[in-house]
């Protein structure tokens, strides 16, 4: 896998909006934080355009992303926020210059589409982590922001958390892939789909009905993807909904039951996703997942 160079003070980063619309006041504090890290920030020229819920037309959003991909001075591209829309611009993009001049692409949620393409189609690592929209005055020194800084500057740290009652014990090495479950489901069977074989899969989600979580897990299961994994990491399943007639299981119980028959470690309640603690992870890198009776340790291997 291609590993983009780590950042250093004085480097220039770009911020683009490939999905939902954004306003300057929503990312202005994040810009201050990045500048406080010694970085220079360049915004996409169309970043504050609007087209209904989107940050401009497909062409405008793609134009900004392409300029950041092609500009050799830009050392990392941070997606301003998620929402929906990245899938609609990826067809417009050329990654030829990115392969010659690798750089980190950062985001989560809807940006899962980009991660999947980079990791599987281009063989390039990327960062699943907090986005500018999420960085505000009250959380500027939180674990999620510090984790993003450490990862961008080449100081990734192991993650150790307490055990969860639904965990499945074991230890495996594998390449980390994944992201938002709904997005992974939406690209299943398309040319943007991931290869799940021998991978450690991380999943998280937001604002979904419980029966839909089950539907998505059944898609991965009956598509033969879950059985091929080396391990599974389950992050936040935030703000889940139920029908009038209750589904009868929580999101974690749905996932637990879907992978019960497989012989690999499973870690629940991992600090990643649409929640306060959303630690940066390098997708495409090799990790060791150790799940014991008392704790889970996620260790960077390279």
Kindly list the distances between the CA atom of residue 224 and the CA atoms of 97, 240, 250, 258, 262, in Å, as whole numbers in the listed order. 35, 26, 23, 12, 12
CA–CA distance, 41 with 90 (Å, rounded to integer): 23
- pLDDT confidence tier of residue 175, bands split at 50, 70 and 90: very high
| pLDDT value of position 268 | 98
Evaluate whether 34 touches 10 at the Cβ level (below 8 Å).
Answer: no
List the single range of 68-72, 134-138, 182-186, 239-243 with lowest mean pLDDT.
Answer: 134-138
Evaluate whether 130 touches 271 at the Cβ level (below 8 Å).
Answer: no
What CATH superfamily classification does 12-152 receive? Murein tetrapeptidase LD-carboxypeptidase, N-terminal domain (3.40.50.10740)
Q: Which residues of 104-121 are buried (b: 16+ CB within 10 A; e: fewer)?
A: bbbbbbbbbbbbbbbbbe
CA–CA distance, 45 with 16 (Å, rounded to integer): 9
Q: What is the mean pLDDT of residues 220-225?
A: 98
- pLDDT confidence tier of residue 46, bands split at 50, 70 and 90: very high
Q: In this prediction, what percent of the chain has a pLDDT beyond 90?
A: 97
User: What is the domain partition of the chain in residue ranges?
Assistant: 12-152, 159-300
- pLDDT confidence tier of residue 121, bands split at 50, 70 and 90: very high
Q: What is the pLDDT of residues 225-268, one digit of tens each?
A: 999 999 999 999 999 999 999 999 999 999 999 999 999 999 99
Question: Considering the entire predicted model, what is its pTM?
Answer: 0.97
CA–CA distance, 118 with 36 (Å, rounded to integer): 29
Q: Which CATH number fits the domain 159-300, given the four candidates 3.90.1150.10, 1.20.1090.10, 3.50.30.60, 3.40.50.20?
A: 3.50.30.60
72 Cβ contact list (under 8 Å, min separation 6): 97, 101
CA–CA distance, 54 with 105 (Å, rounded to integer): 20
Q: Is the pLDDT of residue 302 over 90?
A: no
Kindly list the distances between the CA atom of residue 156 and the CA atoms of 8, 141, 170, 251, 282, in Å, as whole numbers in the listed order. 14, 17, 23, 29, 9
| pLDDT value of position 215 | 98
Q: Is the pLDDT of residue 140 over 90?
A: no
What does DSSP assign to residue 126?
E
């Amino acid at each position: 896998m291609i590993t983009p160079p780590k950042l250093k003070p004085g480097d220039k980063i770009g911020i683009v909006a490939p999905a939902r619309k954004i306003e300057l006041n929503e990312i202005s504090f994040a810009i201050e934080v990045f500048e406080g890290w010694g970085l220079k920030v360049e915004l996409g020229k169309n970043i504050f355009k609007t087209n209904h819920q989107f940050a401009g037309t497909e062409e405008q959003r793609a134009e900004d992303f392409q300029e950041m991909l092609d500009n050799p001075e830009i050392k990392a591209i941070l997606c301003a926020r998620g929402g929906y829309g990245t899938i609609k611009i990826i067809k417009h993009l050329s990654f030829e210059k990115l392969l010659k001049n690798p750089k980190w692409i950062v985001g989560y949620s809807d940006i899962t589409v980009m991660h999947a393409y980079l990791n599987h189609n281009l063989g390039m690592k990327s960062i699943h982590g907090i986005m500018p929209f999420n960085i505000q005055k009250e959380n500027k020194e939180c674990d999620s922001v510090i984790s993003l800084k450490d990862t961008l500057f080449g100081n990734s740290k192991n993650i150790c958390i307490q055990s969860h009652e639904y965990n499945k014990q074991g230890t495996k090495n594998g390449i980390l892939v994944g992201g938002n479950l709904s997005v992974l489901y939406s690209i299943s069977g398309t040319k943007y789909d991931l290869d799940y074989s021998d991978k450690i899969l991380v999943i998280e989600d937001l604002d979904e009905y419980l029966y839909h979580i089950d539907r998505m897990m059944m898609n991965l299961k009956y598509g033969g993807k879950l059985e091929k994994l080396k391990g599974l990491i389950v992050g936040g399943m935030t703000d889940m909904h139920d029908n009038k007639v209750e589904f009868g299981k929580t999101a974690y119980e749905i996932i637990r039951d879907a992978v019960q028959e497989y012989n690999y470690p499973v870690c629940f309640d991992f600090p990643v996703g649409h929640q306060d603690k959303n630690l940066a992870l390098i997708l495409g890198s090799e990790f060791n997942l150790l799940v014991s009776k008392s704790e889970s340790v996620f260790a960077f291997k390279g």
